[in-house]
Amino acid sequence: MIFYFSGCGNSRFVAKGLADALGESLVFIPDAERSGSYEYSLAEGESVGFVFPIYSWRPPHLVSDFVSRLRVGGNATYVWVAVTCGDNAGMAEQVFRADLQKAGLQLDASFCFVMPNIYINMAGMGIDSKRVEQRKLARARKHLPEVAAAIASRSGGEGLLKGLFPRFKTNVIGKGFYRWVSDKPFFSTDDCISCGKCASVCPLHNITMENGRPHWNGNCTNCDACYHYCPKNAVQFGKKTRGKGQYHYPEQ
């Protein structure tokens, strides 16, 4: 059983690829949250996996919140996590271990996929160049069957890439990060063609179409799917996204 979250498709690619390779079922965390589904039963020998992007060197809040309410019945003999990040994950594994303890689960293995960056909401932060994007995608596609094999053999995993100053990034910047998370700066420019794509890709169903234009309703995790999937690049985040490019995982 694999619980996953993804805004722009990188983590969905990993979750679906691992589910296909391992014959595991998939649960999309925002859907489970919406329906209040926190109780699951494992089949004999089934592993428990989690796949999500790293947000400010921690698991996204909505993942931590979900996991702390999760109850898994049956014998969870192997628990693993695979994260995607643009560069590195800091001490996210330690934070996630503590989240799992609230669900009575203990982490056995962790895996890390460095994938194209999607975070563009701050000055100085942008998507990768095409060359870097292609290199990261090629590596991730090569890594996927290796991770599937490691999970199938119940290996101890590879650990997450911590990067420089991991404690400072996770415990200081990461802890304060959600104070800055808001959808208030989002707006659509006059390039908007009222297609509704931004609303349909929002994993939190936070966007409604009003008079042919998107309206953000205050329940946002800054996953940036609405920005990256817009066919006209008409979604902007204040002045922070001006001139920045778009990326989402291809093939979906």
Ligand X SMILES: Cc1cc2nc3c(=O)[nH]c(=O)nc-3n(C[C@H](O)[C@H](O)[C@H](O)COP(=O)(O)O)c2cc1C
Contact with ligand X (CB under 6 A) among 3, 50, 57, 186: 57
Q: In angstroms, what is the C-alpha Rg of the chain?
A: 18
230 near ligand SF4, judged by CB under 6 A: yes
Residues 154-193 that bind ligand SF4 (CB under 6 A): 183, 188, 192-193
Q: Looking at beta carbons only, is 100 or 140 nearer to ligand X? A: 140
Per rule CB under 6 A, is residue 170 in the interface with ligand X? no
Q: In 3D, which of 60, 111, 83, 95 has the Cα closest to residue 224?
A: 60
Compute the distance between CA of residue 103 and CA of residue 84 in angstroms, rounded to an integer: 22
For tokens 């590195």, the residue is: 88
Please identify, using beta-carbon distances, which residue of 48 and 51 lies nearer to ligand X: 51
CA atoms within 13 A of residue 192's CA, in its CB half-sphere: 21
Q: Is 110 in the site for ligand SF4 (CB under 6 A)?
A: no
Direct distance between the N- and C-terminal alpha carbons of the chain, in angstroms, rounded to an integer: 22
Main-chain phi, psi angles of 174, to 5 degrees:
-60, -40
> Among residues 131 and 242, whose Cβ is nearest to ligand SF4?
242
Kindly list the residues in this chain that would bind ligand SF4 in the complex (CB under 6 A): 7, 183, 188, 192-198, 202, 204, 206-207, 214, 216, 220-226, 230-232, 234-235
Positions in the binding site for ligand X (CB under 6 A): 6-12, 53-57, 84-88, 115, 117-119, 222-224, 249
